Structure 1
Amino acid sequence: MTVAPPTGRPAVDASGHRRSGRGSGRSVGRALTRNRIGCLFISPYALLAIVFGIVPSLYAVTLAFTNADGGFAGFDNFTKVVGDFRFWPAVFHVTSYLLIWLLGLLVLVVGLALVVHAVSVRWVSTTLRFVYYLPGALAGASSVLLWLFVLDPTASPVSGLLRTMGFESFVQVIQPGHLPAIFAIIAFWTGAGGWILIMYGALNNISTDVIEAARIDGATAVQIAIRIQLPILRKWIAYMGVMSLAAGTQLFVEPQLLSQASNAVVPNDYSLNQLAYQYAFQQNDFNGAAAISLILLVVALLLSWVFVTRGGLFEKD
């Protein structure tokens, strides 16, 4: 027991010896050293985030509210792009794609993660995880180029399936009405494997004693998934939703490459990012492009807020 004297003198313990302040001083020194090391590690990321994230965002905000001469334009740029006949079709295309993709991620990623986690044979589980993750090793553009062959009935390894569905040519497959589903399949094929591994890791945090106790009580695999595993995955599902939403609103590479490969069967203003590209580099209207980018940012932030609040992403257990 330590007794602190009221006169401000050094504290003494129960035996009457003075308590040295060196230990606390060392602790403070070690904490300061850890803080310095932590700042050193995050400084490259912080610098890159400022230079390539915050500064361009502030510049885009400035462009969105000014005209070509640099004068204040208010909401004129936003009115112009929203009134463009290409804007609302692009909004519909991106929204359709997001709905299909996010629904596929929610159902299939979680389902496949539960299936892999339930596999008791180690080599089978390892092989499945490797196979799921392998498509993610391809870059976005490379993945789309690969899918150009997959979607062509004359060269596709699944040409029989495509012909059974009534498609005889590449142009028939990539009709605009089919594109939201096609882009969702490409995105799922490329990115779902990483999320399956993340969900699998989250499921490994569940104590085996809890699962065994549920089985002893007579719970089925479905009941265990609904009552135990899915609540544990709730925050991870919300995180997946936020990150996938941020990536999905930036749809550009897939329709851009398909537009070039199909001789404009797929329009070059199919998505909002493509429309912003057209404004900036075809019409030389960087202010309008910045307005579209800012609209995308605001919408993505609002939808991400819904995922964060509903998913309890920052709630403490």
Structure 2
Amino acid sequence: MTISHAQRGSRRSRTQRTSKAGYAFVGGYAVLLAAFGLVPVGYALWMSVTNSAGQLVGLGNFTRVVDDYRFGPAFGHIVVFLAEWLVTLMVLVIALALMLHGRMRRATRVIRFLYYLPGAFAGASSVVLWLILLDPVASPVGKLLRAAGWSSFNQVIAPSHLPVIFVVIAFWTGAGGWILIMYGALNGIPDEVMEAARLDGANSFQTAWHVQIPMLRRWIAYMLILAFAGGAQLFVEPQLVGIASSGQVPDSWSPNQLSYQFAFAAGDFNGAAALAVILLVISIACAALVVFRARLFDKD
């Protein structure tokens, strides 16, 4: 059976239209990426190696911010927070998604809505809500807080408690969306694969551990990369908690807060840019590690 010249022309025309539509969509994203991503990064890189007069100073700004007495504690706090946050997110999100996909299927719609609901709160309003919940005097769970030995707000937000508190706030706000994403990924696992596991005698735990979780590898890697990038930029939570505690939490608790102090308290925008570049390099290095270890872009 031969294809006529008219049919080949029609197919070529449809292919060209599809290509133009694809370029239009990608082009819009590329413009926004350049305007709000690449250009600011380039400007930050330039500022990080120059002084206020625009003269090149090499690594001088980096040396100055690293030697600052607040640098070590700020990065130490964020390392502890990220370790607790990423482990909690990975374990609980996968477990809840598996439960939602398995025995809780009948209540799936309602539970999916409840999971996603906290994400509707803006970051600042979510923190304000938690500030009330963590106050033993005003909180509806104040009796539980007092039973734990905390009679005042400042006792609850003691410096040693802050990483856990910020993990709880971050999980409550952002985990719901990831649970739904993992739930959708689980729905994408072929029925033949699940049926083969059942025929082999695998129970629910064995199926999850040996079949479902390995097939979620790329989604888990994607979640960890974005969660790390967001967690490394922690700012709103410690900033508002610090204000509410009347200074008990330092205004340089996180690297982003320290960068804010350099830029707007000391007027040192070059030092702030150096801090931003340090965070960028660390985030890119960690993301690259996850990408290669998880073989994120390998073809199956």
Q: TM-score, normalised by structure 2?
A: 0.96
Q: Secondary structure at the match of 1:119?
A: coil
Match of 1:159 in 2: 142
The answer to whether 1:146 aligns with 2:129 is: yes
Distance 1:20-1:127 versus aligned 2 partners, 3 A rule: closer
Match of 1:22 in 2: 6
Which of 302, 308, 313 aligns to 2:285? It is 302
Which of 22, 25, 37 aligns to 2:21? It is 37
Aligned counterparts, 1:154-233, within 5 A: 154-233=137-216
The answer to whether 1:135 aligns with 2:135 is: no
Structure 1 Cα separation of the partners of residues 104 and 124 of structure 2: 37
CA apart distance, 1:144: 0.3
RMSD (Å), alpha carbons: 1.4
Q: Secondary structure at the match of 2:202?
A: coil
Structure 2 Cα separation of the partners of residues 41 and 217 of structure 1: 45
Instruction: Using the TM superposition, name which of 223-232 and 210-219 deviates more.
Output: 210-219
Give the letter aligned to residue 244 of structure 2. A
Contact kept? 1:238, 1:308, Cα under 8 Å: yes
Which runs of no fewer than 5 residues in structure 1 stay unpaired?
A: 2-12, 14-18
Report which of the two structures shows the higher radius of gyration computed on alpha carbons: 1
Higher-RCO chain (CA-CA 8 Å, sequence separation at least 6) = 2
Query: Larger % of helix: which?
Result: 2
CA apart distance, 1:126: 1.6
Which of 112, 121, 133 aligns to 2:96? It is 112
Identity percentage over the alignment? 53
For residues 35-66 of structure 1, give each alpha carbon's deviation from its aligned partner in whole angstroms, at most 9, with x where no partner exists. Answer: 21122223333222211111111000000000
Moved over 4 A (4+): none
Aligned counterparts, 1:69-148, within 5 A: 69-119=53-103, 121-122=105-106, 124-148=107-131
Match of 2:238 in 1: 255
CA apart distance, 1:120: 5.4
Distance 1:28-1:81 versus aligned 2 partners, 3 A rule: same
Structure 2 Cα separation of the partners of residues 81 and 120 of structure 1: 51
Structure 1 Cα separation of the partners of residues 4 and 95 of structure 2: 58
Equivalent residue pairs, number: 300
Which runs of no fewer than 5 residues in structure 2 stay unpaired?
A: none
The answer to whether 1:244 aligns with 2:230 is: no
Match of 1:9 in 2: none
Structure 2 Cα separation of the partners of residues 184 and 25 of structure 1: 58
